Amino acid sequence: MAAAERITTPPISFLKDAWRRFKANPMALLGLAVLVFFVLAAFLGPYIANHSYSDQSVILHDKPPSGEYWFGTDALGRDLFVRVLMGGRISLAVAVYAGLLQLAVGVAYGAIAGLRGGRIDNFMMRIVDIMDTIPLTIYVILLAVLLKPGLTSIFLAIGMVYWTGMARLVRASVLALKEQEFMLAARALGANRSRLVFRHLVPNAMAPIIVELTFSIPRAIFTESFLSFIGLGVSAPMASWGVLASEGFLGLRSYPWELAFPAAAIILTTLAFNFVGDGLRDALDPKLRR
Amino acid sequence: MSKPILTIEGLETQFKTYAGMVQAVRNVNLTVHEGEVLAIVGESGSGKSVTMMSMMRLLAKNAVIKGKAIFNGVDLLQISNKEMSKIRGREISMVFQDPMTGLNPVLTIGTQMREGIMLHMGLNKAEANRRAIELLTKVGVPEAERRLTQYPHEFSGGMRQRVMIALGLACNPRLIIADEPTTALDVTIQAQILELMKQLKKEMNTAIILITHNLGVVAGMADRVAVMYGGRVCEVGTCHQIFHEPKHPYTWALLRAIPRLDESAGDKRRLESIAGSPPNMLKPPGGCPFHPRCAHAMNVCTGEAPEMTELGNNHRAACWLMHPDAPKVDFDQEVTKA
Amino acid sequence: MARYILQRVITMLVVAWVVVTLTFFMMKALPGGPFASEKKLPEAILKNIERRYKLDRPIMEQYFDYLKNVVVWDLGPSFKYEGRTVNDVINKGFSVSAKLGGLSILVSLLLGVPIGVIAAMRHNGLIDRTVSGLAMLTAAAPSFVISGLLQYFLAFKLKWFPPATWGTPKHMILPILALCSFSLAWLIKLTRSSMLEVTSQDYVRTARAKGIPEFWVIFRHMLRNALVPVIASVAPLTAGVLVGSFIIEFIFAIPGIGREFVISIQNRDYTVTLGMTVFYGFLLTGFTLVGDILTAFVDPRVRLDKEG
């Protein structure tokens, strides 16, 4: 990778190289496979399943897993399997929207702070420090209480609060990259400001951003399930994994599978995202390898 | 010649790694005499640091060490770790390369200096303190008493390296191993540190093994020089012999590669580097390790590693060119004109 | 050092003020808030609210009034229950929550740190891999899942512990286990990786080269450095336990303030929710301050805080 190559768009051979490294990591591949499977199941599953997520057969309530109802039924006789799949759609959707919102706010905030530097940077980071002193979850709860209940409010609440991590990351990347030699070289070759930012800064900063995004998704899923458990989640008959878990909790003593299946879904997804995140981190920045 | 205090015989060090056995040091033989400065010169990866670390038993658990390292009649490679730790810091001390990371950031300089002193010399805290102040002053740290209560991050790089040297001297060792002590410092500080070391050597008659890749430092400090490449010793001799009568092609290449400031404008010479790259110690080349990059390589060089040939006056080189049947090659004497 | 502490105290006061201000304006501005609802409130409460919050006054006056009340620690009446104030709610449950939270943190530290150190010392051995795997699994499970597991197996099936409520030491075991699960897993991971990083540091090599005996090297040089990030994380750890207590107290029906908080959320008892948020805010800035001071004690590099 000669210096000349790096002056143009770094990612081309870099991506291939990173993918190769990623492939070499078995846990990361496993995680990716699980995720792809889950996403497919969540979006296609309900179409091919026998029951709709809201169909109730009250007589058949709280039945254990069987041939007819793969995960059993819940308290209102609804097919738990389909509900878990639907829950997957909703939990993942919340997580992804929230992640993107965090991305937008965080990247913008961090980039501005890093690029401007000086007092503006100082001031902006003080604000972030102050925000971080209080566990962000409390803010999320508050927002969720005060906004109209529903899906939108949840991902708005999560996205609007959790961006601080991303902002710090982006700022650090920008600060570090600003001073690196390739930036200087590009400017010496005559690149103007926007070209500098988009063709050079952004591709090199992408790696930690992507990794952070991958880790933010399980965090969002956790938070969403937390909110649902408290009662701030999506409303019936829509079901996210958090809602299913809290419903399942009510019948824990006698019908443990009602909690077990959504819980397993959450755990597996979290682990999968964590493995993929670790794999991405190792693949995209081998210098961090232990 | 004063008597030898350290004799390394047939030292061989390998590292067990996932990729295989890395052969870092292969059959190294060296002798250090009382009060002398032996410089070990070589590229990164030539095995110079690993040789010393092997002898000091400071390598990680995946290191496999064979051979002998006789110090004061004791084979350092055979004694227990406990006994070795009594020798470390007391009889033989080591000064490392990077002063920025070599000191514990959460302990005061005073604590770190007193540690070794109290342990090895049996002094109490107050006496150790006095000795520490004495040492710091000797190495040129001003306001030593106040400095003892400070932390490493309150010292500059040059000051920190002086502290490391003070640590090395603390218990009056008979041998100090200095592993690139000035590489991480800038040039002016480098000069000061080297002056300091010369002075201390004169005062205390300590033997010093100076590991470096900088021939300028060697010329200024060393009594004897050992040149290493690919885990083996290529040439050993006095400073004069190495600089004025070098016999090994690698030594020639090193000398040629020194940039010179005294050439007139019409005498422009390209900066000479040595073509090729250092050997892969996982699968080192057969025979002489330097042969892939050697301008004078012969068939025999690829097959068998040359033995050390005595050249008289304790000057030795390991090269097939020394063999009576080999062609006579003379080093371009221009370069060595002082 | 003193200067550092002063700096931190001032920062904390600013944080506290920000929390109070934010909660106030959120309360006023957001569509789902108490003052935006059109529902008819019971007469007595309405009177209370109006008198207390002076709703017809300009907003800045309301704000300063609110600030004043917070300073004298009067957090206002409940939105839902007549005759109850937020202060009542907090006072009632605080000691219980403090016990629960305090013990959880203690357990996490006393178990987590040694286990992490041992795992690091036996890097890649059986213990290390088992511990790391378990820690990873535990961290991937939300607290209600862990609570559910514990309740199901240890309370319902094996009947070793009561499944809920508070009172005897036996009642405390399951909630503490559930509450400390995440922080325990996290501490183990942190301590382990911190130890591993320290092991390869140059100053450890220097210490060995000085001839320091191995156990000194471990305790004085390695541990002291490895524990710095652990101690620095005590504040966020406490915050995590605090947030976790909401769900744990709720599930195990423990009469602490966490449970009250959740109930107030479900009941839309806005004043209680917001008043408790302010309380939590103060609590957390206090923890952060303590954490910062502790960190400065163990890590001298921090004491030289950037002078602007």
Say whether residue C206 is in contact with chain B using an 8 A CB cutoff: yes
Q: State the Cα–Cα distance between residues B110 and B130, nearest whole angstrom.
A: 10
Average pLDDT over residues C42-71: 73
Residues in chain B closer than 8 A to C212 (CB atoms): 85, 89, 115-116, 119
Residue C48 banded pLDDT, cuts 50, 70, 90: low
Question: Is there a contact between B155 and B165 (Cβ–Cβ < 8 Å)?
Answer: no
pLDDT tens-digit readout, C14-29 = 888 888 888 888 777 7
Inter-chain touch C136–A274, beta carbons under 8 Å:
yes
How would residue A12 be classed by pLDDT, with cut points 50, 70 and 90?
low
Determine the distance from the C-alpha atom of residue A264 to the mean position of all C-alpha atoms in its chain, rounded to a whole number.
18
Mean pLDDT of chain A, nearest integer: 80
In this predicted structure, what is the pLDDT of residue C54?
A: 62
CA-based nearest residue to B163, from B105, B215, B123? B105
The answer to whether the CB atoms of A148 and C250 lie below 8 A apart is no
pLDDT of residue A1: 39
Between B329 and C102, name the one with better pLDDT. Answer: C102
Q: Which SS3 state, helix, strand or coil, does residue C123 take?
A: coil
What ipTM was assigned to the predicted interfaces of this complex?
Answer: 0.81
- The tokens describing B236, both together, are 């050993």
How many whole angstroms separate alpha carbon B200 and alpha carbon A212?
54
Question: What are the C-alpha distances in Å from B155 to residues A262, B109, B141, B143?
Answer: 57, 10, 10, 12
Distance of alpha carbon B316 from alpha carbon A52, whole angstroms: 88
Mean pLDDT of B245-257: 85
Residue A158 has pLDDT above 90, yes or no: no
What is the pTM for the complete model shown? 0.81
Outline where C30-85 has alpha helix (H): 43-53, 59-71
Mean pLDDT of A183-190: 70
More confident residue, A133 or A103: A103
What does the alpha-carbon distance between residue C284 and residue C15 come to, in Å, rounded to a whole number? 10
More confident residue, A146 or C300: C300
Instruction: Judge whether residue A4 has pLDDT over 70.
Output: no
Kindly indicate the confidence band of residue B269, based on its pLDDT and cuts at 50, 70 and 90: low
Which of B152-156, B269-273, C269-273 has the largest mean confidence? B152-156
Summarised one tens digit per residue, pLDDT across range B99-114 is 888 899 999 999 999 9
Residue A288 has a pLDDT of 46
Per-residue pLDDT, averaged over B56-61, amounts to: 87
Distance between CA atoms of residues A204 and B338, nearest Å:
50
Distance CA B251, CA B223 (A): 17
Residue type, A176: A
- The per-residue pLDDT for A19 is 80
High-pLDDT (> 70) share of chain C, % = 89
Query: Hey, which residues 191-220 in chain A have their CB within 8 Å of chain C?
Result: 218
Interface contact A141-C265, CB threshold 8 A: yes
Q: Could you tell me which of B8, B63, B23 has the C-alpha nearest to residue B286?
A: B23
Nearest CA in chain B to C227: B106
- Least-confidence region, from A210-214, C229-233, C263-267: C263-267
Q: Per residue in C122-169, pLDDT tens?
A: 888 888 999 999 998 998 888 888 988 888 888 888 888 887 888 788
- Cα distance between residue A115 and residue A125, in whole Å: 13
Comparing A220-224, A278-282, C73-77, C84-88, the range with the smallest average pLDDT is C73-77
Contacts of A193 (CB under 8 A, 6+ apart): none
CB pair distance less than 8 Å for C212 and B85? yes
% of chain B at pLDDT higher than 70: 93
Residue among C299, C277, C307, C304 at smallest CA distance from C76: C277
With cut-offs at 50, 70 and 90, classify the pLDDT of residue B75: very high
Using a CB-CB cut-off of 8 Å, the residues of chain B touching C205 are 58, 96, 102
pLDDT at C53 exceeding the cut of 90: no
Predicted local distance difference test score (pLDDT) of residue B266: 52
Model pLDDT, residue B332:
61
Task: Using an 8 Å CB-CB cutoff, list chain C residues near B88.
Answer: 208-211
Q: What confidence category does residue B40 fall into, taking pLDDT thresholds of 50, 70 and 90?
A: very high
Mean pLDDT of chain B: 85
State the smallest CA–CA distance between residue C43 and chain A in angstroms.
23
C184: pLDDT strictly greater than 90 = yes
Q: Chain B within 8 Å of C36 (Cβ-Cβ)?
A: no
Whole-number pLDDT of residue C70: 82
What's residue C51's pLDDT?
A: 65
Q: Can you give the pLDDT at residue A255?
A: 84
Cβ B133 vs Cβ B117: under 8 Å: no
Question: Averaged over B222-245, what is the pLDDT?
Answer: 90
Q: Which two tokens stand for residue B31?
A: 């002798």
Q: Residue A40's CB: how many other CB atoms inside 10 A? A: 11
Which residues on adjacent β-strands are paired with residue B225?
B39, B237
Q: Which region among A212-216, A266-270, C81-85, C292-296 has the lowest average model confidence (pLDDT)?
A: C81-85
Confidence of residue B337 (pLDDT cuts 50, 70, 90): very low
**Residue in C with minimal Cα distance to A149:** C32
In the prediction, which pLDDT does A17 show? 75
The answer to whether residue A251 neighbours chain C at the CB level (below 8 Å) is no
φ, ψ dihedrals at A57, nearest 5° = -125, 85
| pLDDT > 60? residue C305 | no
Closest residue of chain C to B108, computed from CA coordinates: C300
Identify the band that residue A65 occupies on the pLDDT scale cut at 50, 70 and 90.
confident
| Helix (H) or strand (E) segment spanning residue C122 | none
For B167, which of C208, C210, C216 is closest by C-beta distance?
C210
The yes-or-no verdict on residue C106 having pLDDT over 90 is: yes
Q: How many CB pairs under 8 A join B and C?
A: 82
Percent of chain A with pLDDT over 90: 4
Mean pLDDT along residues B143-166: 90
- Decide if pLDDT at B308 tops 60: yes
Q: Closest chain C residue to A272 measured between Cα atoms?
A: C140
Contacts of B86 in chain C (CB under 8 A): 211
How much is the average pLDDT of B275-291?
Answer: 80
Does pLDDT of B320 surpass 70?
yes
Who has greater pLDDT, A231 or B86? B86
Q: Is residue C308 very low, low, confident or very high in pLDDT (cuts 50, 70, 90)?
A: very low
Tabulate helix, strand, coil % of chain C (nearest 5): 80, 0, 20
Neighbouring-strand partners of residue B65: B13
Q: Determine the distance in angstroms separating the CA of C103 from the nearest CA of chain B, rounded to an integer.
A: 30
pLDDT at C286: 87
Instruction: Return the structure tokens found at C263.
Output: 């109930």
Mean pLDDT of A9-24: 69
Quick check: bond before A237 cis, omega within 30? yes
Calculate mean pLDDT across residues C53-78. Answer: 77
What is the average pLDDT score of chain C?
Answer: 83
On the question of pLDDT at C89 being above 80, the answer is: yes
pLDDT in tens, C4-16: 888 888 888 888 8
Tell which A residues from 267 to 286 touch C, by Cβ distance under 8 Å. 267, 270-271, 274
